[in-house]
Amino acid sequence: MILKRIKQFIDYKGMAIAAFERSIGMANASFGKSLKNGGAIGSDKLEKILSIYPEISPIWLMTGKGNMIIGENEEATKQQAIIANENLVKQGATPELITELLNRITEQAAEIGRLQEQIHQMQNRLGKDASDANTFDTANAG
């Protein structure tokens, strides 16, 4: 669901929902209500989100596939693929082999992105859980 992915991005950015709503011109609490009720979001708002937050991958936002954030990892992967392609051509590799290897690189880059996002979410949860810990129940060492 697109709204859940938007919420995931909001959490990733560490923003309040109200601040996000203001940033894209939504009415106060409208995103939160839509998320809670399983509602939808208009294409005009999606366009606004992608224009204000260009780091969001449109493919991820619409399908949930790939990396949430368009970033250096993807650029580095593209550059590595270009260099690898040039080297393979010099060594006489077939176009089919080159395509297969480039597909593997792309899949691995996407998996790295997913894993990085999972790590980020776990770190956020761990930080939240640690801050929610009840300090009054500590053992009496005396």
Model pLDDT for residues 29-42, shown as the tens digit of each residue:
788 888 888 888 88
Looking up tokens 């009840």, which residue turns up?
134
The two three-digit tokens of residue 101, written as one number:
């290897």
- Residue 132 predicted with pLDDT over 60: no
Q: Name the residue with higher pLDDT: 12 or 138.
A: 12
Single-letter amino acid, residue 12:
Y
Is 0.85 topped by the overall pTM? Answer: no
Kindly report each contact of residues 31-34 with a partner whose C-beta sits within 8 Å and lies 24 or more positions away, as own/partner: 31/3, 31/6, 34/3
Q: What is the mean pLDDT of residues 101-110?
A: 71
CA separation for the pair 10, 24 (Å, rounded): 12
pLDDT of the residue at 116: 82
Torsion of Cα atoms, 59 then 62 then 64 then 70, to 10°? 40
